[in-house]
Structure 1
Amino acid sequence: MGYYFKKEPLYEQALDHFDYHLIALYDQNKYNELMHTEGLIKNHLKMQAIITNAKAFLDIQKQYGSFDYFIWSYVHHKPVLHHYQSSQDIPAFDELSTQISKDLKKHGFRFVGPTIIYSYLQAIGIYNDHEINCDFYDHEINCDFY
């Protein structure tokens, strides 16, 4: 089991079950409590970014109707099917993840670099980076965007 997954229950409890509505309301007292909670990150900037990003997430929801609509609008609400022969062909980031990273930072997000965003795009299904001979490679996806 990966490091993060071992810590997930601790973070879930400390961060109110990842309820971004509540996280966005955290004040200095809650921040101090988190910084003194055994097992959580001690990087002040990263801990503050959790709170800042929750606020920015809510702002995007308000502005665009939903974060889902916002993020999928970059690909015209259609998944992108890449044509990679092997996992070594998959980049760490690309032009789109770089653009989204820049835009998220303009919206107030922190610690959202192009590599993190590329992984996020894979995780939420915007990017299908399965190898062409993989069972999960979807030959039916219309990938006019990329």
Structure 2
Amino acid sequence: MPVLHKDDKAAERCPWCGTDRLYVDYHDKVWGRPEYDDLALFEKLCLDGQQAGLSWITILRKQQSYQAAYDFFDPEKIVQYDDNKIAELLTNPGIVRNKLKVKSIIKNARGYLGLKEEGTGFSRFLWSFVGNGPIQNNWRSIDEVPVTTPESEAMSKALKRAGFTFVGPTIVYAFMQAVGMVNDHLVSCPQHMQCRSPAQ
């Protein structure tokens, strides 16, 4: 069990966040809380793709730099990025300087706008894969928590068809956990009940 800060209320917080203050705050205030805003979901999906091969805390520490670099994840602006902008991004030390990952956010912006042009809201599109409400799990051990599910497989395939990249089923499931489409806080974690409340 992680060493706790004096002001921590969680005696048995989910172990994956360790003791890093940024990670603990993310666990307590963000992870697992249902998010329905189109642009907030777009940003989170893009950032989850950036963590491929890395740890989430690495991307979390760079989130503000990503927001500044990518016009606060405004798809209308991102789709205008040209080769000069891509070259600029590849010199930015505040983000992961991987050409495929840089281009993936641009492709994802196109996919987002493509869905919008079809009359499909991004939030409605994503939440449809979980029946429009959070799936409530009751895991007692971190070993019980899956890395993919049939829902994440289906969402991944649909996103790829829409033109998104870095949206494999494992990345998508991590995204679903983070934005509260599934409640994967362990039952021993105080946030488990906090994240159940919106769904009741």
TM bucket normalised to smaller: 0.7 to 0.9
The residue that corresponds to 2:133 in the other structure is 78
| Alpha-carbon distance in 2 for matches of 1:139, 1:36 | 44
The 3-state SS of whatever aligns with 1:37 is: coil
Instruction: With the length of structure 1 as denominator, give the TM-score of the two structures.
Output: 0.84
Amino acid at match of 1:23: I
- Asked if the contact 2:130/2:151 (under 8 Å) is kept, the reply is no
Larger relative contact order (C-alpha < 8 A, sep ≥ 6)?
2
Q: Distance in 2 between matches of 1:46 and 1:140?
A: 34
Distance, in Å, in 1 between the alignment partners of 2:183 and 2:118 is 28
Q: Which runs of 5+ in 2 are unaligned?
A: 1-21, 23-56
Match of 1:33 in 2: 88
Residues in 1 aligned to 2:69 and 2:197: alpha-carbon distance in whole angstroms = 42
Give the TM-score taking structure 2 as reference length.
0.64
Task: Let me know the Cα RMSD of the aligned residues.
Answer: 2.1
**Runs ≥4 in structure 1, deviation > 6 angstroms?**
none
Shift of 1:45: 1.1
Q: Could you tell me which amino acid in structure 2 is paired with residue 34 of structure 1?
A: L
Higher deviation after alignment, 131-140 or 83-92: 131-140
- Give the 3-state SS of the residue equivalent to 2:140 in structure 1: coil
Distance in 1 separating the partners of 2:159 and 2:120: 16
Contact 1:122–1:128, Cα closer than 8 Å, also in 2: yes
Q: Distance in 2 between matches of 1:109 and 1:141?
A: 28
* 2:69 aligned with 1:14: yes
- Residue matched to 1:109: 164
1:103 to partner: Cα distance = 1.1
Q: Deviations over 1:62-113 (max 9, x none)?
A: 3243100001111221211122122221011111111111111111110011
Matches within 5 A, 1:30-109: 30-109=85-164
